[in-house]
Amino acid sequence: MVIDKENENVRLDRFLKNTCKNNSLGDIFKAIRKGDVKVNNKKKKQDYRLQIGDDVCISNLDFKQEEKRANTKNMKWVVYEDENYLIINKPKDVAMHKGTGNERGLAEMYNISFANRIDKKTKGLVIGCKNKVSLRHITELIRKREVKKTYIAKTKNNGKYVLGDKFRVELKLKTFEDKVRVDENGLLSISEFEVIDVKKENITFSVNILTGRKHQIRVQLAHLGIPIIGDDKYGNYKKSDELELVCNSIAFDDYLFKIKKP
């Protein structure tokens, strides 16, 4: 099975304890030692913490996990659906997953695993996968940077850009508690920006992200001195302000999804 958000950062032995309930802890530890449990085709120790996209293969244990069945009764946010994918146009202030302050998120509403995530305040397109095969496939495409995502971001006009300007931002980002900062010990983030609209008060950018770091576009624009309008974490805005950031299009394989009016 492919690990989703629900099992992210869970120890391997605890994950097996929860999903192989007919086996004793002794059986589970023995299976780990013998290599009957592999993560991404490699043996792992019992204290390995699972990551989103990890492919866990289990043999000689009574592994039981029900395949999720997508709930599409709430169709108002569904952009596209087939036997493998459910493309959702997530509205603002809806979390991807349940957690602190969120009784349930998009994953719980639709009972599906999402291959990509966007912030609670960010609007736009996300890819829901109806089965393990499609989730594994999209996760691999994301790893290979073959899922193309474009965002629309609006900032205050600082007078430095004109219509048609294009530039690339490469920064190393590191997460500190709930905030991301530019740090030489961080992971490389790469985005391509194009100015698509200029008004007296604000600028609108089309942003093509080449890496998927947490808060990537928000931190990059704040680092340039033009935080996204409504960004209370990296800009001087209130928490109740609307974040002017939208995942406007997603393309992978032969699929292309685009919001006409973000």
pLDDT single digits (tens) 154-167: 999 999 999 999 99
Q: Could you tell me if residue 86 is inside a domain?
A: yes
Residues 223 and 173 in one domain: yes
Co-location of 113 and 127 in the same domain = yes
What's residue 207's pLDDT? 97
Same domain, 14 and 28: yes
User: Is residue 240, in this structure, part of any structural domain at all?
Assistant: yes
Contacts of 237 (CB under 8 A, 6+ apart): 227, 229, 230, 231
* 65 domain residue, yes or no: no
Q: What would the 3-class secondary structure string for the chain be?
A: CECCHHHCCCEHHHHHHHHCCCCCHHHHHHHHHHCCEEECCEECCCCCECCCCCEEEECCCCCCCCCCCCCCCCCCCEEEECCCEEEEEECCCCCCCCECCECCCHHHHHCCEECCCCCCCCEEEEEEECCHHHHHHHHHHHHCCCCEEEEEEEEECCCCCCCCCEEEEEEEEEEECCEEEECCCCEEEEEEEEEEEECCCEEEEEEEECCCCCCHHHHHHHHCCCCECCCCCCCCCCCCCCCCEEEEEEEECCEEEECCCC
First to last CA, the chain: 35
Same domain for 203 and 118: no
Sequence letter at residue 55: D
Domain's final residue, options 143, 171, 195: 143
Q: What is the pLDDT of residue 65?
A: 55
Say yes or no: 155 and 206 in one domain.
yes
Per the structure, the complete domain to which residue 89 belongs is given by: 75-143
Q: Please list the ranges in the chain whose pLDDT falls under 50.
A: none
The predicted pLDDT at position 204 comes to 98
Residue 66's pLDDT is: 52
Total residues found in the chain within this entry: 262
**pLDDT the model gives residue 244:** 97
Same domain, 253 and 194: yes
Residues 227 and 242 placed together within one structural domain of the fold: yes
Same domain? 207 vs 184: yes
Place of tokens 């969120």: 102
Predicted local distance difference test score (pLDDT) of residue 72:
60
The domain boundary, picked from 58, 87, 103, lies at 58
Distance CA 125, CA 104 (A): 18
Q: What is the CATH number of the domain that holds 191?
A: 3.30.2350.10
241 and 167, same structural domain?
yes
Domain stop point among 143, 158, 178 = 143
The answer to whether residue 157 sits within a structural domain is yes
pLDDT tens-place string over residues 213-225: 999 999 999 999 9
- 243 with 159, same domain: the answer is yes
Domain count along the chain:
3
Report pLDDT for 251.
96
Q: Is residue 68 part of a domain?
A: no
- Give yes or no: residues 166 and 246 share one domain: yes
Look at residue 66 and tell me if it is in a domain. no
Question: What is the CATH number for 26?
Answer: 3.10.290
- 102 lies in a domain? yes
Contact (Cβ atoms closer than 8 angstroms) between residue 112 and residue 68? yes
Do 221 and 154 lie in one domain? The reply is yes
Q: Is the dihedral of CA 123, 125, 131, 137 positive or negative?
A: negative
CATH number of 105's domain: 3.30.70.580
Assigned domain for 67 exists: no
CB 32 within 8 A of CB 13: yes
**Whole-structure pTM value:** 0.73
